[in-house]
Amino acid sequence: MGVLGLVTLLACLSTGGRGKIFTRCELAQELQENGMDGYEGYSLANWVCLAFYESGFDTAAVGANADGSTDYGIFQINSGWWCQDAQSPSENLCHVRCQDLLNPDIKDDINCAKRVVQDPQGMEAWDDWKNHCEKQDLTEWIESCNL
């Protein structure tokens, strides 16, 4: 194996151990336990739908934006406003390091998402929610989860 292959393998292993890909029902349970069902008027199904379209339920998801900011974690929290990273200036309104949003413990992600929806935009702050979840029948997102 060449040096490039070894570096790639090590990079995959180092990021793979930090994140978690939730199942739909695992996430629904975790969100319910953390008070997300009905938070700011949004059902549990809205939160599960949002997480699916933002990250595929992957806590280690990272997405780059055209404006130079980056989105982090299961809810793709933006570094320009909500969390602090080393690449871009931030308001850091959630008072959290962006890197802390990439691990399997999503309590800080949940707390930050709660902060985001308190702003006037609510869930409309997430384009994927607007495009895929808003005004949709979302019952399938929590169906058969035994909540």
Active site residues: 54
Residue with tokens 């871009």: 88
Q: Contact 128/53 with Cβ under 8 angstroms?
A: yes
DSSP assignment of the chain equals --HHHHHHHHHHHHHHTT--B--HHHHHHHHHHTT-TTBTTB-HHHHHHHHHHHHTTBTT-EEE-TTS-EEETTTTEETTTTSB-SSS----TT--BGGGGGSS--HHHHHHHHHHHHSTTGGGGSHHHHHHTTTS--GGGTTTS--
